Structure 1
Amino acid sequence: MKRKIAIIGGGAAGFFAAANLDSSLYDISIFEQNTDVLQKVKISGGGRCNVTHACFDPKELVRFYPRGNKELVSVFSKFQPGDTMAWFEEHGVPLKIETDGRVFPESNSSQSIIDALYSNALKKGIAVNTKVSVKDIIPKEEGYIVETSKGEFLADIIIYTTGSSPKGMKLLAKLGHKMVSPVPSLFTFNVKDELLDGLSGTSFPDVKVKIPNLKSSENGALLITHWGLSGPAVLKLSAWEAVRLAEVDYQFDVEINFLNITYQEAESYFLDFKEKHSKKTIGQSKIFPTTQRFWNRVLELNRVNKDKQLANISSKEMGMILETLCRKLFRVNGKSTFKEEFVTAGGVDLKEINFKTMASKCLSNFYIAGEVLNIDAVTGGFNFQACWSEAYLISEALNSKSYHEKEGA
């Protein structure tokens, strides 16, 4: 007789575990409380689904994970981005690597990923139950009773992949797992500053973002939004400092170097340009790689007449411009997240997981993967890769001969 597996949560980790389980050995049921499964997959990457990242060395890969980096070395040694790419290619989804290393389906549609996972589940006879809320999980001498909004379900094995749902975390705590309190990660900085007014949509290819009080910084692209500051540099910094920024209630100072060069280097560029183009007006001068709108705003706020010739720009005026470009201090007052796309730091304490199989050390025949663990990454496909890898380890463990010999199956 087939043993019964209940997968709690119909997201990336839950479906990938199901996709790789041997359905000749198991009756598999997925329980998802929402109307649709794979919701984060659908909205990821602006609807294109950033499947993974083209980083194939586990020791390099774990550097993108603020929490869980030590534990994931062994996980990625068994299943890494190259394996993920091969899996989706084999299941009819051609992928492409973009110049920044992010991996997307060639279709540029997350639906390609969803279809591959969902159709695979249906082919294997996996029961996909939507709009079913799991209210409780009761351990029995052998197996579990899963109490749902649509009645009881008996399971021999639980695979728990609820994501960052507070209800899901609360249920694990009730079952005896130690939980690290969740806090948001990957968020934008809410800033009100006259330098940013009216410049929403303006981007910078390479800046340095620093939080002086935390002695932390990140380099990368920056985007001015209606709320303040976003883009990869800000999102990476929010991930690495998620816990400490929560502790200060998202009230802090951030310093932006829009040029990502030292003040002295910027001064040298300015003086050199001034000497070579002394008759140009400063408003027409393309001294640094910024947009014209941003450059005009910098001049306006520092009360520098844009029609003034470079030859007549004083040392004081130059100093004010360079201070704004290289050392601009902003006050952050809160954060913004992108609806369902946000990520959390926190979840199951990693000491309670066997990272060879993703099995719980507190509960027998109980496996945990995905964002419900205290593992998170910076933006770029890394969070999904953790889900794929952890889920694959679960399926490998349950499909293994040694597992069935141990269970007498």
Structure 2
Amino acid sequence: MQHGPRRGRSQALPLQRPLAHLHRPGPHRRSGQVRLRERGGEARGPRHRLAGVGGLHHLRRPRRSLGALSERARELLRRRRGEHPLRARAGRPARPHPPRDHRQERGHPRRTAHRVRSRRGQAPLLRQPEGDRDRSQRDAAFGLNEASLARVVLLWHLHQPEYRDPVSGQPILPWVRLHATRAYNDMAAALERKERARAVANWAPSLLLQLEAYASGSAVDRDEEIARKPVDSLTAAERAHLLRQDFSVDWEVWVKPVPRYRELLAKRGAEVARVDLLRAQEGFSTHELIDLQVHFMLAWMGFAARREHRLVAELVRKERGFTEAEKTQLLDVSRKIAAGVVPRWRALAARGSVEISCSPMFHPILPLLVDSDSARRAMPDAALPPRFHFPQDAREQIRRGLSRTERDFGVRPAGMWPSEGAVSPEVLQILGSEGVRWCAT
């Protein structure tokens, strides 16, 4: 009697041992296969398939569609395959490696239960869906639907207080000009590049007045006045002013990454309160002070200025050894950028990318202007000065703010951010009577 299967043929036999007793494949075995201890035929089940070939049997997991894989599995597959695009060359964009065999083309990578094995240079098999499909799948994964989503509006508040001297009319501090060359200009440039982006920009009329003065050339702040003088002609007090003022930036972002700027800070000293600036300025040469002035202005030039003005990019690369002529040219660029901020935002409002709102004219706290005793509603025991009651001035602040903003942007604001978000029932009544449809607090 012949026992066992005949040589060269396979015969179905039931499994005698659980899957835990199967040997894991050695390095000589193909990925996705394990060797059985039993010799025999073929057994089938809902999760695994046993195939007997010449007495050697392999356990294979059924192929799964890529759609059934979790996001984590997709990410692991991409990383383990090393799906990196070819480097782009001159005249040829970067492209992925072509597929190496039919398994990759069909999108069925070899897999095992305990690890993912891959080859170098495989093409990207798993691509994330784009657009609305991607968002809908992500929302479904978190159990979100249209009804459960909150609609959030970001209101960007652009405000600088009145820096002009009431007697001379000239700005005492340079912050309107400096913020215009960086943040205000960069925000507009970012919105221009993203046509589908929407924003609400709340402008303080006091800022608009000062930007107009810079655009007309009637405003010259003290820092610009000193910067336009040759360093050789500066007094000791003016040179000391440079050492105090021209490090007024975020050191971690703008000073420490720039070797020359970092050297100048180390020479002056980090703790300005402990430095005798009049004595310290004697140790700075003319070239060092010019470099300091230029680096201070470059630190207040945003990414839009560096991209749109060649001079700015060239001076950033040069880093040291600047000339008086280059310093003057950079000052002219800063004026040009400041003068173009409001027209740039006006164009964004005209194309529908931005909704323009405003604050009261000179940024007063409206509830206290209407009635100073209204503070007792939130602080009953607060010690307050004698009552001040001037609702007519609050109304005039609102009217002038709306009119000034309409003049600069060509559209009357529908909304208003009251100064510091301060509101009261009386203030809301005045806002409504002046045509304000919404306010934020």
Normalising by structure 2, report the TM-score. 0.21
Q: Which protein has the larger Cα radius of gyration, Structure 1 or Structure 2? A: 2
Normalising by structure 1, report the TM-score. 0.22
Whichever structure has more helix as a proportion of its residues is 2
